[in-house]
């Protein structure tokens, strides 16, 4: 199923009581009205615009993990356990 808002493929979000189709690109959820494009960005769009240092700062602040460990994980996820 294609997202009516951005046109990308939607996936089934089964973590809810009633499974819904959701677009992980723009955040659209099945059954919501299509919002015309405005200057507001979704959380997903905002995360995609962060550079490496901003992403490290955002994740370390929200998850209470030291920034060095997150930077190492972003560089090579298989290395950090």
Could you list the beta-strand ranges (E) of 1-81: 11-13, 20-22
Please state whether the predicted TM-score (pTM) of the whole model is above 0.75.
no
The pLDDT of residue 38 is above 70: no
Q: How many Å apart are CA 46 and CA 29, to the nearest integer?
A: 18
Section 34-59 average pLDDT:
78
User: pLDDT: is 12 or 14 the higher one?
Assistant: 12
The percentage of the chain sitting over the pLDDT mark of 70, rounded to a whole number, equals 90
Closest CA to 26 of 16, 34, 18, 17: 34
pLDDT number for residue 18 = 85
Section 45-68 average pLDDT:
85
Section 30-46 average pLDDT:
73
Domain ranges of the chain: 1-31, 40-75
């Amino acid at each position: 199923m294609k997202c009516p808002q951005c046109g990308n493929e939607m996936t089934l979000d089964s973590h809810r009581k009633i499974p819904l189709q959701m677009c992980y690109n723009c955040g659209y959820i099945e059954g919501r009205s299509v919002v015309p494009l405005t200057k507001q960005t979704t959380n997903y769009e905002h995360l995609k615009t962060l550079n490496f240092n901003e992403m490290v700062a955002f994740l370390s602040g929200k998850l209470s993990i030291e920034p060095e460990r997150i930077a190492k994980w972003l560089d090579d996820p298989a290395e950090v356990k």
